[in-house]
Structure 1
Amino acid sequence: MDTLPKETAQTKTFPASPKRIYILQLLTVFIGFLIFGFSENIKGPAIPRIQLEMGLDEMRIGLLLSLNSLGYLLACSFTAYLIRRIGIKAVCLLSFGSMVLSGVLIFLSRSYPALSSSFFLMYIGNGMLEIGLAVLAARIFIRNTGTMMNLAHFFYGLSSTVAPMIASGLMTLSIGGRAIDWRDVYLLILLLAILPMIPAVAGKFPSSGISGDERLPLKVLAADPVIWMLVATLSFGVISEMAVGGWLVNFLEKAYGWDGTAAAGMLSVFFLCFTFARLFLGPITDKIGFTLSLIIFSALSGLLTFAAIAAGEPGAFLFAAAGIGIAPIYPTVMALIAKRYGEGSDTAITFIVTLMGVSSVIGNYLIGAIITGIKDMVTASRGAGEGLLAGLQAGYAFIGLCALLCALFAVPLYVYLKRRGELL
């Protein structure tokens, strides 16, 4: 008779029910992606101001973004090991903490090397966070995987939508007679990384449930043709997605003479399309299949980007509409990995995201190099104005080309899986 009271007392002392644990896990994932979106996409309005203040050309801006991607890549290379050694909770807390620290260092930076180093640290934190959140999501989203992955990444899109507007709005304000600049914005935004640390500390994260001996060997993974097709598909998709945040504002300001607020507003419209595409297209990816979704949506994004370039300034809204197509690519690949590799998804995610990081480094550098190279070539024959426009158009055409290549590499993936009866 005294068993029930003991259990009741224990329940009152330890109220961590499975539902409460799951809610804390969801809060960590959702708020984590929210902060991730802020940290990634305040750079749109900030880069033209950084460029002006420090006297940087497009090549050095491209190099800065490539160094950021290098920090992201470095984080991808060791995060899986950290997860195995110290757990996802500690990795998430470490990544949030490094983002807070990088905000302080960016605020204090007064030179290009100091700024590059600070951004490098921020992207190390971002890389750790992305791997940690992807692994956590793969472990907890067992049902309706495509829908839940897109929902989680919806929060990234949500913060990405408002980040440019908040950043550009803050940089028009003054406090005590002192204008708020891009350094202040980075400090304020990155301090928000403290917020997701609260549910992360209070929550309990699931382990992989497998020992080191049972873990999917890297050699076996690398021998799977599917993994390489996913690497190519995701790499081109992410280059196209991430480049918009770094280059759209710059393009609109310099090619069409838009002011900073209007250009940041168009970037926000891009992320608005991006955000709601993830919210509403998730169930569609579950219904028509992950692989077919990759082909359709990435091709749509590429075609809209080229249409925007061809239409000129009146077609600028098509740059924003391209967000509809590129939005589902990353979460859909993550859902495909979670379904195909199951308990080995940790290894697969790390492998794919690491190689994706290599592509991102190259992609960001190439965009800057293409803009500078075409600009110099055309300037020599037609003048500086036409040279700059041609360079920016060529750089943005490369972004659209990457979206089309994403679709192209998803086609053999679809054929291969369909022939083997493994289509997802």
Structure 2
Amino acid sequence: MFNFLSFFLILFSGPETEKRVIKCKAALAWEPGKPLAIEDVEVDPPKVHEVRIKIVATGVCHTDWEYLYGQGMKVRPFPLVLGHEAAGVVESVGPEVTKFSPGDKVIPLFLPQCGECERCLSPKTNHCRKNWANMQVGVLADGTSRISCKGQQVYQFLGISSFCQYTVVPDTSLAKIRCDAPLDKVCLLGCGVSTGYGAAVNTGKVKKQSSCAVFGLGAVGLAAVMGCQVAGAKRIIGVDINPDKFEKAAVFGATECVNPKDHKKPIQEVLAEMTDGGVDYALECVGDPAIMTAAFESTKDAWGSCVIAGWTETGMMNVVVEKILMGRTLSGTYFGGWKSVEDVPKLVDDYMNKKLKLDEFITHNLPLDQINVAFGLLKSGNSIRTVISL
């Protein structure tokens, strides 16, 4: 299928464009707790082992909201361009980049995969740490950002910043995908869907005919429900305080849903009664310490397994050691356990081959200048995923 944007970038990219600064629009967070401002920014050319991307579409993730309005705002420098769940087209490449060319369709990755370190070479983990420390504080390998506004450096969220029409990322934090993939759909594989789906099929290793409870029916939770269904679970119980999400959960495979507000007992006791002692697998997809504890305690002793997929920096959960000693297991997952560079293209293939749902997650499509509306929809629970077109 002919793609005009890719053709345009190939046609007009070259030594001259690779060296020029690009002026474009971005949704900028000048300070924590305040709405984003649409600003004119400058995006520098890529340096060694870096790639500059034209962002085409980006999802609005709860993690973005958390780092603007929640506890996460305490640990990130400002001004900051948020956004990390995106897809786009390579505009230019820096020196020593060998795996990407202008016109390639790509998904930027907040979790790198260098392919050379001990962690990348091990099947036990996907936790590559290439450029990790710098990207966590909003800069690239040389300690600086490629985005600036009004002469001031702007930090790149998780080394990405997809709420900007152009951005620059390390070549180890980028997945090349097939040329016929719709970028406004596969952008969701940059974070939420991959995380929840992988929590079930990779980290949890949910078995056929098992019982599962998924806590939180946002994008990550619905993806976990989908993963449980793909794995062959016979009973998948969605747990959420917003009953409006129950119909959508059924689309992804939930066999029933429970609202904790409808019960006087703690939800873990309700689930234990529903399942003759507890579920085989619980997946926590909210990022709340109290819900993490409830999810863990909802599993069956002797063999129950709980996977924490929700992200939080508000504190650690209080786990009763005795419950672990009785045979339960507790594990965490980051980006669903996927080896980012090599596995994301496979997930794109699964979507294109109708083995993986993505369209059903998208409840709203908005332009960049409506980004604050998207945050409002997310916080109110009125959206699963809003996709921003840049």
State the structure with bigger RCO (CA 8 A, min sep 6), 1 or 2.
1
Q: Which protein has the larger Cα radius of gyration, Structure 1 or Structure 2?
A: 1
Give 1 or 2: higher helix fraction: 1
Give 1 or 2: higher strand fraction: 2
Please, what TM-score do these two structures have when normalized by structure 1? 0.25
Please, what TM-score do these two structures have when normalized by structure 2? 0.26
